[in-house]
Amino acid sequence: MKSKKWLCSLMPARIVFLISLIIIIAVMVGLGYIILKRQPKVSLVEACPPTCTPADALYRNADLPVDQRIDDLLSRMTEMEKIGQLVLVEKNSVHDSDDITRHGIGGMLSGGGGYPKQNTPVAWLDMVRGFQTKAKATRLGIPLLYGVDAIHGHANVIGATVFPHAIGLGASHDPDLVYRVAQATAQEMLATGIHWNFAPDINVVQDTRWGRTYETFGSSTELVTSLGLAYIEGTQSASLNSAKAIVTAKAYLGAGAMVWGSSSNKDFKIDQGNTMADEKTLRRVHLPPFETAIKADAPVVMVGLNSWNGIKLSANHYLLTDVLKTELGFRGMVVSDWYGVYEIPGGEYRAVVTAINAGVDMVMLPFDYKSFIGYMERALENGDISSERLDDAVRRILRAKFVAGLFEDSSSDGSTLASLGSPANRSLAREAVRKSLVQLQNNNKTLPLSPNTDRIIVAGSSANNLGRQMGAWTVEWQGIDGNWVPGTTILDGIKATVSPLTVVDYSLDGSFDKLPNKATVGIVVVGEAPYAEGIGDNAHPSLSAIDLATIERVRIASQRLVVVIVSGRPLELPAQSSNWDAIVAAWLPGSEGEGIADVLFGDYPFRGTLPLEWPR
Ligand code: BGC
Ligand code: BGC
């Protein structure tokens, strides 16, 4: 009390007030500074009508070699224009499409489920064309790369042909087939104005508990290498006017060897996990498909979301720059995957600096492009990223764009939209289904079945379910369970194949109590519901209790039992399965379910063999 009185007597109220005011102002200025510092400043690219770049600029001349065109274009670009090229943003994160012009955005994508308001082929074309127009309205008119996950057909689009997932193609062991599937997929993409596929996945899978097993061609390095090459060549053979389709060899590197329980994502078990392999194994088992892809001129490599010995791949200078770019001579661009860059520890700014310096060229942000542009400006200003590294990244991105023929205004004119889901492509998909089927068991020559069988009963969770047949990455990221997307169910395929006199009865759960006698044949189609990525990590992939109960009911109600398994990976079968007459692995066959009846009823032989081990 005493001391306070003493202070107050020394300081008149006015001085106290003044000092407090100064302190408050200082705190506010300090806070403002901190906030401003955290919010990166973002410059825009220079505005100027396209005419301000002469029409006869070398980079516009399609007759010149790509390197010369790149040199010319790069020499005209400002720093902000270069930074814009590194941006890859998910289309739902661009709320004002003028931003594409203002920031000179280099790439956009549709994530799984990233369809336009109306999910029709023509709406896709309109959407992509609209974005492209905004990109071309920039000073230099650099077109966008638009990417999609057409990993088993252009299957984000309702009405597209849905081919078997890669694991089924793996079972075909047929490079010619894979070439044609990739080509047809690319033609359907190009028809909607899209050049860039985030496929093929050329990981060599070692642990089938991984939810992405079906995205790969299997567990053998040789198989993955040869089918990966076929997929790349098939895609690159597709064209529409001057438009070319381009692939993404993904996901570099070693995701097939991640360790169960090591995921960096708390909701997953193995996906986005840690690859524990020594360098020798990495090079012997996992690198060859990428070496081959690079020799085949794949213009893009996507970095995995995994870590290698604890370090995120997108931060790994040794693997991205020393091995991929220097040793293997990769001249294309490295694109990061989804939020992968920001998963590098140390905060967003540090993460961007680390990833770009490690060798990432285009960054799938995938959401906030403004902050990324700000980080890049700051990093260049601070010297944390060199202008040489920036130029190198831009060069690689531009190369992919020139290879895709984007500068020749090749955006589709809509003339081939009818190729989506065309009879020719559906018939190819059906052929792929036939060639992917693997006969796991055939007691007493049960297969092939006679199309003249008098009564067939059909049951099971996947018998009349296109969503399960197609798996994920179909319209929605996680797929859609049930009959929502056009196609032919396995049940319909059976009905269409048997003789007109054959009676086909269907019951989802196999309740055929009212049958007077045992049916001659029972076909039960069971397996997995759709899943994508880590959502599908499963400690114990096996048939569900419901599926087993259905099988048991049909076994009792029929003389011969055929079990067809629709799944993205091998499922553990129970001991009693040795009493099932026939077992067929159908993988995730896609929209053309009739391909299964083609083989069950002997119109075509079984040709597929296992692309990975099926534990019995
Ligand atoms: C997946 C990639 C995919 C990308 C874009 C990521 O989450 O890992 O395989 O290409 O999303 O949809
Ligand atoms: C997107 C996918 C992406 C995933 C990554 C989803 O929302 O649609 O394309 O792969 O997120 O977690």
Q: Ligand 2: does its nearest atom lie under 6 Å from the Cβ of 374?
A: no
The pLDDT of residue 27 is: 85
170-199: average pLDDT:
98
- d(CA 589, ligand 1 centre) in Å: 21
Q: Which residue owns the Cα nearest ligand 1 atom 10?
A: 198
Give the C-alpha distances (Å, rounded to integers) separating 179 from 183, 251, 589: 6, 20, 17
Q: What are 227's strand-pairing partners?
A: none
Q: Residue 20's pLDDT band (boundaries 50, 70, 90)?
A: confident
**Span 166-184, pLDDT tens digits:** 999 999 999 999 999 999 9
The pLDDT of residue 356 is: 98
The catalytically annotated residue of 201, 384, 533, 537 is 533
Q: Ligand 1: does its nearest atom lie under 6 Å from the Cβ of 198?
A: yes
Q: Which contiguous run of DSSP H or E holds residue 334?
A: strand 333-335
Q: Say if residue 226's pLDDT is above 50.
A: yes
Active site residue 337: yes
- d(CA 251, ligand 1 centre) in Å: 9
- d(CA 124, ligand 1 centre) in Å: 19
- What would the DSSP string read from start to end of 104-154? T--EEE--TT---SS-SHHHHHHHHHHHHHHHHTSTT-PPPEEEE--BTBS
SS (H, E, C) 152-169: CECCCCCCCCCCCCHHHH
563-581: average pLDDT:
98
Taking the CA of residue 476 as reference, the ligand 2 atom at the shortest distance is 8
Spatial separation of the C-alpha atoms in residues 366 and 486, rounded to whole Å:
30
Q: Which residue owns the Cα nearest ligand 2 atom 5?
A: 338
On whether the CB atoms of residues 171 and 426 are closer than 8 A, the answer is no
Percent of the chain with pLDDT over 90: 89
Report the DSSP pairing between strands 239-240 and 243-244: antiparallel
419-447: average pLDDT:
98
Whether omega before 251 lies within 30 degrees of 0, making that bond cis, reads yes
Spatial separation of the C-alpha atoms in residues 493 and 491, rounded to whole Å:
5
Give the C-alpha distances (Å, rounded to integers) separating 12 from 2, 3, 5, 9, 154: 17, 15, 11, 7, 78
39-49: average pLDDT:
72
What mean pLDDT, rounded, does the chain reach? 95
Q: Say if residue 107's pLDDT is above 80.
A: yes
153-175: average pLDDT:
98
Q: Which of 484, 503, 506, 497 is nearest to 593 (CA)?
A: 497
- d(CA 218, ligand 1 centre) in Å: 19
122-139: average pLDDT:
96
The pLDDT of residue 50 is: 57
The pLDDT of residue 37 is: 53
Taking the CA of residue 110 as reference, the ligand 2 atom at the shortest distance is 9
The pLDDT of residue 616 is: 80
Query: Which pTM value belongs to this model?
Result: 0.93
Q: Ligand 1: does its nearest atom lie under 6 Å from the Cβ of 479?
A: no
- d(CA 15, ligand 1 centre) in Å: 63
Residue 570: HSE in the Cβ half-sphere, 13 Å Cα cutoff: 21
Spatial separation of the C-alpha atoms in residues 261 and 397, rounded to whole Å:
36
**Span 511-550, pLDDT tens digits:** 999 898 999 999 999 999 999 999 999 999 999 999 999 9
**Span 347-387, pLDDT tens digits:** 999 999 999 999 999 999 999 999 999 999 999 999 999 99
Q: Ligand 1: does its nearest atom lie under 6 Å from the Cβ of 111?
A: yes
**Span 304-357, pLDDT tens digits:** 999 999 999 999 999 999 999 999 999 999 999 999 999 999 999 999 999 999
The catalytically annotated residue of 271, 337, 384, 581 is 337
**Span 458-504, pLDDT tens digits:** 999 999 999 999 999 999 999 999 999 999 999 999 999 999 999 99
150-161: average pLDDT:
98
The pLDDT of residue 13 is: 79
Q: Say if residue 36's pLDDT is above 60.
A: no
Taking the CA of residue 338 as reference, the ligand 2 atom at the shortest distance is 5
228-257: average pLDDT:
97
On whether the CB atoms of residues 489 and 461 are closer than 8 A, the answer is no
The pLDDT of residue 1 is: 41
Q: Residue 3's pLDDT band (boundaries 50, 70, 90)?
A: very low
Say which residue, 153 or 24, is predicted with more confidence.
Answer: 153
Q: Comparing 30-34, 297-301, 495-499, which segment has the lowest mean pLDDT? A: 30-34
283-310: average pLDDT:
98
What is the 8-class DSSP label of residue 173?
T
The pLDDT of residue 30 is: 77
Spatial separation of the C-alpha atoms in residues 153 and 197, rounded to whole Å:
10
On whether the CB atoms of residues 87 and 365 are closer than 8 A, the answer is yes
Spatial separation of the C-alpha atoms in residues 276 and 314, rounded to whole Å:
16
